[in-house]
Amino acid sequence: MTKILIRSDYLLPGGDNWNIIRNAELLIEDTVVSYIGAQRNYPVGVIDRIIEGKNKLVMPGLVNAHTHAAMALLRGYADDMPLMDWLEQKIWPAEARLTKEDIYWGTLLAICEMIRGGTTCFADMYFHMEEVARACLESGIRASLAQGLIGLDASQGAARLEDSKILVSDWHGAGEGLITIMLGPHAPYTCPPQYLEKVISIAAELSLPMHIHLAETRGEVQDCLDKWGKRPIALMDSIGLFKQQVLAAHCVHLSEDEILTLTQRQVAIAHNPGSNLKLGSGIAPLAELLERGAMVSIGTDGAASNNNLDMLEEMRLASLLAKGSCEDPTVLPARKALKLATVNGARSLFLKEETGLLREGSQADLIMLDMDKPHFHPYHDLCAQIVYAASSADVEMVMVKGRVLMEGKKLVTVDEEKILHEANERAVRLTR
Ligand code: NI
């Protein structure tokens, strides 16, 4: 058993406890936190490795609850366009040229960025997901992966469902639980009710959660009403989607009733403020959702509509946007924002292992921030400094499942230089 000891000037356990522990110590045995608290003395030879955190802060790793990692290859390729033009003229034609290898390298590009920004776990929906799984396993980042399912064409829809089943048997639980699989019906407007019913029955049969886009734009809600006579949330409820565990991305355009339905059915909601703003989709009713007790987490969405995968920035944006749109600075205070970006994210992925917080028995998914920077001083309230002042450049060390992925700002499990080179070459070919 490998024993790693982290000593840190400051430590935030997270979960419901955002009180700083000074001069803290965290003992990790293999993948699990076995002690957290005041520093102790150990006999010589008991500890395999000590990581010293002078002027550093240790906290749970950030969880990106909704993204399309490989879209990092299309970052900056098409911006400032109306959503449908953006998809039809730019994104879909480029995606049609994506090979399996492109997905692998594009995902690795996203993983480099996510690790550098303190993300230890993410929920992904895309295609060729076995390549995404391979990239995650190699890099050591935790992920919950869903093959995007589109059911507009019956035979293609059925084929993609078969791919999903193969993905489940090959990858669900791989890397000793590092990788888990969800089913990924893309959205109500790409998956008609009949097709969704098939997906739901397979999710029930295999006991898998589902990851879906819901109520992202006003147009989507209107089209759904015109076509099916119901708004998206009501339609999904009527066909039994919410009887299973569901991670719903966006949920921007919601009625009072829909907020109630999502809360009562315990649907996990991934809030994507950056993408919703950039695509002009609108502003999700975050304060109302939280007031009702909804399970809300934070996602970046893909890098083609954000344009980064920076969870510290996304957490700050979520908090500021909620305050500004409600004209109320008490909405989404710093500790609550931290909770959304960590433990709520982990719970929204329905993982069996305990992640998103640090306590005895939880997985050692954590990050270390360098607090010796002007923008952190003075140390009045370190939680507020992290939410309102920190940047991804402050992340110094990242660990997932007890394995160090970045140390001294150097990525140690992947060849970053080669990844940037491959990604650039491939991006040129895709968009030529
Ligand atoms: Ni999305």
Tell me which DSSP letter residue 363 carries. B
Q: What is the pLDDT of residues 364-374, one digit of tens each?
A: 999 999 999 99
> Which letter, b or e, does each residue of 214-227 get, where b requires 16 or more Cβ atoms within 10 Å of its Cβ?
bbbbeebbeebeee
Å from CA of 130 to ligand 1 middle: 19
pLDDT over 90 (residue 315) = yes
Domain ranges of the chain: 3-61+361-411, 62-348
* Homologous superfamily (CATH) for 3-61+361-411: Urease, subunit C, domain 1 (2.30.40.10)
Tell me which DSSP letter residue 127 carries. S
**pTM of the entire predicted model:** 0.98
For residue 66, give the nearest of 349, 391, 351 by alpha carbon.
349
Average pLDDT over every residue of 193-205: 98
Pairing of strands 119-126, 49-60: unpaired
Position with higher pLDDT, 82 vs 8 = 8
pLDDT score, position 416: 98
Structure tokens belonging to residue 173: 């639980």
Å from CA of 270 to ligand 1 middle: 10
Domain 62-348 has CATH 3.20.20.140: yes
Average pLDDT over every residue of 239-264: 98
Residue 188's contacts (CB-CB under 8 Å, 6 or more residues apart) are 196, 212, 214, 220, 224, 232, 235, 236
pLDDT over 90 (residue 130) = yes
Å from CA of 392 to ligand 1 middle: 22
pLDDT over 90 (residue 432) = no
Instruction: Please give all residues whose CB falls under 5 A of ion ligand 1, grouped by chain where several chains appear.
Output: 301
Å from CA of 67 to ligand 1 middle: 6
Å from CA of 415 to ligand 1 middle: 27
pLDDT score, position 87: 86
CA distance 401 to 308: 25
CA distance 281 to 83: 8
Phi, psi of 198 (to 5 degrees): -65, -45
